[in-house]
Structure 1
């Protein structure tokens, strides 16, 4: 009886024993990568390459770090040297998708002699990723964009791009609607753009859909509809901060304010939105702080508070800024 009791205790202890250090290290490295802490992630993945269990998965992430750093040749070399096993943390469809992305980047940044080869390889990898995982949205979108943008001689096809939208619709009406707007914008068809934006506007619980619809309304100068879409994409806490910190809610706050500058309407609300944008971390790919300050200065100027506007403009003038911003500021102050 006593031996049975000890056996039960032993089994229980086995079940609750901590996860191995290497597993934890890999998960931490992935989290650092996803948080764009590339230096830390790179060191961690490099160390993990010495462990057979994580060697190939770590190499895959090192390739993605190289890709983020626009080291496309290094990214391709790392990916091509990666030999995944069934039990690896990286799925084959993910592997082929990122090979497609890397080859597409190389095609865009290579000579006319090399570009077709990279483009053809990118297409093959996107198609393989979709074949392996038909529901993998990143791969579907990658293949759609390839068909949409590549020249016909390299396998580009509007017809095939439309077929991808239909295929995506079987899994997600929202993603299909987003791709339809991209198609409309590529074809530069104003009526089609507006119809696609209206369809996206129906997805009231999706900040991404509302943001993209708002951009389309803004670009076609349907400003009131743009205001409404951006406003629905974000909301404020009593403190004046955004109630959510998602990528699209934050971008919606910025674009609401930019629309207010273009339309010269809703200025107090736009000032509040841009102030909220500036209190939050500005991620890679978002409008930079200097551009947000410029837009905020424009809002103050248009609302009659020229002292506040000049203070912000002076900050921009005395900082090292990109030429496009300097030119925009000079043009506004004419």
Structure 2
């Protein structure tokens, strides 16, 4: 009898596994519309399949359909109320919905967002993403509706107890948000020392850029490149040099290296490197070279207004 039941159920399991794999593949390929379409049909026929419901919520989320994503995740929290991850996803969808509606409507959502994240944190004392969400939520909310730097720091400390790197980054974020750049710098440096991921270096680099500390930003990018050796770092250095009119020879050299070693995985199109080279030559008052590079940028991406504006500035030299 048991074998007979298993044989009867096997096609159902196979179909479910097939739709999971197909949907996950489509989402990974960023084909969110097709993933949504296939999952909507499957979930309508299998309304208690939690994995499919979660994937449908994910597909909606990728398409910024927060209302629909929230409905799927709410279904999951009701089906499995002790799942920290379901509450986290539900809170995240509600939070993004709150950002997309008017302030009055958002006020009515914030309480549910907070409750979902707090429930997730309660259910899983090691859930890193939930604690990051709470750090950001309490920093960004006005005090009158529950915002609190002290509470944000509390969850940053919880993060530190789970992962020192995340704890340092969270504290850096809090102090940067609170306009305390020296403290933010301290914690981002500690994160680099502890973990040294690209994200750690990037946080410190962006802080320096925001504070107008171009040379410090370049030094940080170079240190990151020593550790990670990525061609994309050359563009970052060139960008800072071009934007802040510093270390122009280094910026020129790095941008040309970025272009010569470029591949699609580097992320930033070569046309933006051409644009940054044009800026560097403009700073050098070399109008001929500046025009050569900005024309290459425009030829690649003719609709970018920043390129057209740069050409006007170069022509005015």
Shared fold per TM-score greater than 0.5: yes
Give the one of 57, 72, 79 matched to 2:73.
Answer: 79
Task: Summarize the alignment of residues 251-290 of structure 1 with structure 2, pairs less than 5 Å apart.
Answer: 252-261=233-242, 262=244, 263-265=246-248, 266-272=250-256, 274-275=258-259, 278-281=262-265
Q: Offset of 1:91 from its aligned partner?
A: 8.4
Structure 2 unaligned runs (5+)? 1-12
Matches within 5 A, 1:33-182: 33-46=27-40, 48-49=42-43, 52=46, 55-82=49-76, 92-182=83-173
2:220 maps to 1:222: no
Listed one character per residue, the Cα deviations across residues 154-173 of structure 1 (whole Å, up to 9, x for unaligned) are: 22111100111111000111
Could you say which residue in structure 1 is the equivalent of 2:278? 297
> Deviation at 1:290?
5.0
Structure 1, residues 85-135: CA drift from partner, whole Å, max 9, x if none?
Answer: 56xxx9822221121112112222222321111111111111111111221
SS at match of 2:241: helix
Moved more, 123-132 or 109-118: 109-118
What runs of 5+ residues in structure 1 fail to find an aligned partner? 1-18, 237-241
Shift of 1:308: 5.5
Of Structure 1 and Structure 2, which has the larger fraction of its residues in helix?
2
Q: What count of residue pairs does the alignment treat as equivalent?
A: 303
Q: 2:202 aligns with which of 211, 230, 255?
A: 211
Q: Is the 8 A contact 2:294 2:310 kept in 1?
A: no
Q: How many Å separate the matches in 2 of 1:204 and 1:39?
A: 37
Decide whether aligned partners of structure 1 residues 267 and 291 sit closer, same or farther in structure 2, where only a CA change above 3 A counts. Answer: closer
Which has the larger displacement, 41-50 or 173-182?
Answer: 41-50
Structure 2 contact 239–276 (Cα < 8 Å) conserved? yes
Q: TM-score, normalised by structure 1?
A: 0.75
Q: Deviations over 1:136-160 (max 9, x none)?
A: 1111111110001011232211110
TM-score, structure 2 normalization: 0.79
Q: Output the CA distance in 2 between the equivalents of 1:328 and 1:92.
A: 52
The RMSD of aligned alpha carbons is 3.6
